[in-house]
Amino acid sequence: MPVRNCGAFLQDAIESILNQTYGNLELIIVDDHTSDGSLDAIRFRDTRIIRTTNPGRGIVSALNHACFMARGAFLARMDGDDIALPARFETQVAFLEGNPEIGIVGAQVEMFSDCHGLGSGYEAYERWINDLLTPGDIQRELFIESPIPHPTAMFRRDVLAALGGYRDVQWAEDYDLWLRAYEAKILMAKPEGVLLKWRDRPNRASRTDPRYANDRFILAKCHYLSRTLMRGRNAVIWGAGPTGTKVFDSLTREGITVSGFIEVHPRRIGGRKRGVPVMPMEAVRDFGCALILGAVGSRGARSEIRAFLTSLDKQEGNDFLFVA
């Protein structure tokens, strides 16, 4: 549990771990240079708590330090402002023990906020995350967004070691880890049932840290696509709007050739963008083994594109993939 200025939320987060039905645990709290006094206000009486200070600065250094200190066969993530439900560890450990092919397990979540209501975007994101349970589900939609909420993750120790731990990169450290796991063919899954209450607050890192911005996610997606599914292949981008254009630019920087854009808006069809043609959706038949990347984020677009491409006997995850 890396901790920096979690305020009054920290006590509940700690107690939610100490009250787990799976009691054979150690809670490693890494003080990432907290300045709000929240850690000093807590009496650490439970002998299962190990308190240490981040030898560096930032979440990546704190996480790698905690993993180095940990002694267990399974390593679990937790944030200092969320609440783990009592059966979280028991459920996840049982899932990993019963599914030896799975290397990383997440959990379904209930998102909540103390200071404002969750908007429709967060509600849709919660539904999307909670629908991704099997390795196939997660692989299919990995390049849309991060499919495993970071504070729900539990790893086999040897799997995290094989991946080299966390990396300090220009995009989110957890998404980078999931993409490296995908590249290494490590399977990820979730058991059914909500196991974490995931708190949204204004100063959450995903809202304030530039590494969590959408543009950085696009950079991460295109970087790992160039190392996996895009090797030796051209791309066709479905959607010539702002997201599709950013995907084009990022793929080009990775050395991937984009053959064109697919569009459904008549006014955009027939022109050129970034020097390549903008074509109607029927043109996807003409691109052979090129990977079609869906870059349209509007509600319902994904299912419509999926239905059309499937009707052409194109296989998701091999012939086409969604990146928005």
Q: 97: domain range?
A: 2-209
Q: Are strands 194-199 and 235-238 parallel, antiparallel or unpaired?
A: unpaired
Are 304 and 198 within one domain? no
- DSSP one-letter code for 283: G
Give the count of domains, the chain: 2
Q: Which stretch of DSSP H or E encloses residue 208?
A: helix 205-208
pLDDT of residue 201: 75
Are 25 and 162 within one domain? yes
Residue type, 303: S
Query: To 10 degrees, what angle do helices 173-183 and 214-227 make?
Result: 20
Are 246 and 140 within one domain? no
Domain boundary among 178, 209, 240: 209
Are 73 and 92 within one domain? yes
Residue 40 reports pLDDT greater than 90: no
Are 135 and 251 within one domain? no
Main-chain phi, psi angles of 294, to 5 degrees: -75, 115
Residues 6+ apart with CB under 8 A from 6: 13, 34, 36, 38, 79, 80, 81
307 three-class SS: helix
Burial environment of residue 284 by CB neighbours within 10 A (0 to 12, 13 to 18, 19 or more): buried
Are 29 and 160 within one domain? yes
The CATH code of the domain that includes 257 is 3.40.50.720
Q: Are strands 83-84 and 194-199 parallel, antiparallel or unpaired?
A: antiparallel
Residue 259 reports pLDDT greater than 80: yes
Among the listed residues 228, 239, 226, 218, the one whose alpha carbon sits nearest the alpha carbon of residue 292: 239
Summarised one tens digit per residue, pLDDT across range 178-221 is 999 999 999 999 999 999 999 987 766 667 788 989 999 999 99
The CATH code of the domain that includes 180 is 3.90.550.10
Are 141 and 250 within one domain? no
Q: Tokens standing for 45?
A: 């009486």
Number of Cβ within a 10 Å radius of residue 85: 19
Answer yes or no: are the C-beta atoms of 156 and 76 closer than 8 Å. no
Summarised one tens digit per residue, pLDDT across range 59-116 is 999 999 999 999 999 999 999 999 999 999 999 999 999 999 999 999 999 999 877 6
Please give the Cα distance from 172 to 268 (Å, whole number).
33
Domain boundary among 209, 224, 247: 209
pLDDT of residue 115: 72
Summarised one tens digit per residue, pLDDT across range 308-319 is 999 999 999 999
Summarised one tens digit per residue, pLDDT across range 130-184 is 999 999 999 999 999 999 999 999 999 999 999 999 999 999 999 999 999 999 9
Domain boundary among 158, 182, 209: 209
Are 168 and 258 within one domain? no
Answer yes or no: are the C-beta atoms of 308 and 281 closer than 8 Å. yes
CA angle, corner 139, sides to 133 and 140, nearest 5?
A: 95
Q: Tokens standing for 315?
A: 């296989």
Please give the Cα distance from 284 to 263 (Å, whole number).
11
pLDDT of residue 204: 67
Are 63 and 193 within one domain? yes
Are 16 and 160 within one domain? yes
For the chain, give the percent of residues with pLDDT over 70.
97
Burial environment of residue 137 by CB neighbours within 10 A (0 to 12, 13 to 18, 19 or more): middle
Are 163 and 257 within one domain? no
- Tell me, yes or no, if the pTM score tops 0.75: yes
Are 104 and 154 within one domain? yes
